Chain A
Amino acid sequence: MDIFSQLNLSTDKFFQELNESKEIIRTSWSYITGTLDAALKGQDSKSLLALIPYIEQGEGTPAYEHIGESRQILRILHIVRLELTYQKTPFFLHCADKDSLMEKYMLSLFALRRLFFRLSEDSVKEAEDWLLRNKLSVFAIYVIIQEDFIFADNALYGKIAELCSAYWDDGDKQLFLSLTAGN
C-alpha cells in the first residue's frame, strides 16, 4: 500500500471513530455543563470538584479530548481545588453559572496577556484595574499563566507581584515568589 493510501485509510478510520463517539461526547459535555450550572447556582464546591475525576478519568474524557472549553474548565477546577485546600477565596465566587465562570476566566487571561504584551498605557491600565478589582489568588494567576498561552518573563511576574500585593497576604507573596523563582 502506498503512503497516500495509508494516510487516507488512517484518516477515514479516525473520522469513523469520531462519528461513532459523537453521542458520547455530547452526553459527557452536557453532564459537565449541567453540573457546573447547578453547582455554581448553589455555590456547591463538592459537586464542582467531583467533576475533576469525571473529566480526567471518568465518562467526561471524550468531552476533554474533543471540546476545547472543557480544558479551561478543568484548569478552573484545579485552581478551585488548590484555593479550597489552602482556604483561599475560590475563583467561582460571584459566578452564578458556567457562562459567568468562563467569562471571569477569559477576562483574567486577557488581563494577564495585556500586562505581558503592553500594547499601550491604556491597555495596561485596564488590565491592572481588572486584576485589582477581581482579586485573583496566587493559584489562579499561576495556573492561567502556566497553562494558557502566556510566555511569562520576570518582568511580568514582577508586575503581578507588585499589583497583587495590594490584596495578597505575606504567605501569598511568598508562595508566588517561590513558584515563579525558577522561571
Chain B
Amino acid sequence: MDEHKFCFILCTNNDILLSEAIHYISHLIIPDGYTTELLTVADAKSMTAGYNEAMTASNAKYKIYMHQDVFILNKNFLSDVLSIFQSDASIGLIGMTGYESISADGVMWHAKDRLGTPYKRKASYPPLSEYRYSLSEDGYQSAAMIDGFMMVTSTDYLWNTESLTGWDFYDAYQSLAFLLHGHKIVVPAQRHPWCMHDDGGVLSLTNYNRYRQIFMNTYKDMLGRHYSEIPAAAKDEGS
C-alpha cells in the first residue's frame, strides 16, 4: 500500500462527461510528496463490481470514488481531505454531502439532517479563487451516510457485489460497512462547495426500490438510527 498516493476511481459510460471530470481533476494541486493515479472502468456490470475492480488494482491508500458527472472545484481538495484524515485516525470515509441518521424508509435523502454543501445556482459563496478550507475553523461533521457522488476512503473494504447488482444503494451499504468496522464518516463544512454534481436535477429511480427493500431487510435494526447509535460491535450484522 502506498501511503502517499491518491487514486481517482470512476465508472463511466459517457466520454464527454468523463473528459470534463478529468479536466477538473487535472487542475488539482497535488500535495508535496504525494502522487495520483486515475482508474476508469467503462461499462461496468454494476457500480460495486466496477469499484471493486479498480480498488483491487490500485495500491493507493487514499481512494476517491466519484461519479463521471462530478467536477471538483476546490483545487486544494487533496490536501484538505488529507488534513481531515490526518486529524483523526478513526476517520475512514469522507463525503461531500451526508446525513447524521439513517432514514427509517431507507431513502437516504429523506433523513432530515443533511450535512455538506451541494453546489446550487444563485447561492452565495465566497469567490472560488479566494476560498481556502481550514480544518480548525471550518471543521467537519460526523455522518451515518454519505452520498455516493463522491466517497473518499483511507482504507479498503470490498463493495458488496452480492446484494448490489445495479447502480443504487452502494453508498448506503459502504457507509454502513465503514461504521460497523469502527470508522467515523465525516463531511467537511464547505463555505464554497468542493464539487459540483451535475446530475441533471432528476434521480433515476426505476430500480431503486428493489435495492431499498434489500437494504431495509438487511439493516432493519439500523433504520432511523443516528450515527452515534451504530456501534462497531455490530460489525457482522448484514455483512
Task: Output the least CB separation between B198 and chain A (Å).
Answer: 6
Interface residue B1 (Cβ < 8 Å from any Cβ of A): no
Q: Which of chain B's residues 147-197 have a Cβ closer than 8 Å to chain A? A: 196
Q: Given contacts A7-B105, A72-B200, is CB(A18)–CB(B125) below 8 Å?
A: no
- B interface secondary structure, majority: loop
Are B200 and A118 closer than 8 Å at their CB atoms?
A: no
Give the interface segment out of B17-25, B49-57, B81-89.
B17-25
- A interface secondary structure, majority: helix
Interface residue B233 (Cβ < 8 Å from any Cβ of A): no
Interface residue B140 (Cβ < 8 Å from any Cβ of A): no
Q: Given contacts A11-B110, A19-B209, A119-B27, is CB(A65)–CB(B105) below 8 Å?
A: no
Are A119 and B205 closer than 8 Å at their CB atoms?
A: no
Q: 4 extra interchain contacts, Cβ-Cβ under 8 A, other than A7-B104, A110-B20, A117-B128?
A: A11-B105, A12-B105, A67-B202, A71-B202
Q: What are 16 of the A-B contact pairs (CB < 8 Å)?
A: A7-B105, A8-B105, A11-B212, A15-B208, A15-B212, A65-B202, A66-B205, A67-B202, A67-B204, A69-B200, A71-B201, A71-B202, A106-B20, A110-B20, A149-B119, A149-B121
Interface, chain A (partner B; CB < 8 A): 3-4, 7-8, 11-12, 15, 18-19, 22, 25, 65-69, 71-72, 103, 106-107, 110, 113-114, 117-120, 123, 149-151
Interface, chain B (partner A; CB < 8 A): 16-17, 20, 23-24, 27, 71, 73, 75, 103-107, 110, 119, 121-123, 125, 128-129, 196, 198-202, 204-206, 208-209, 212, 223-224
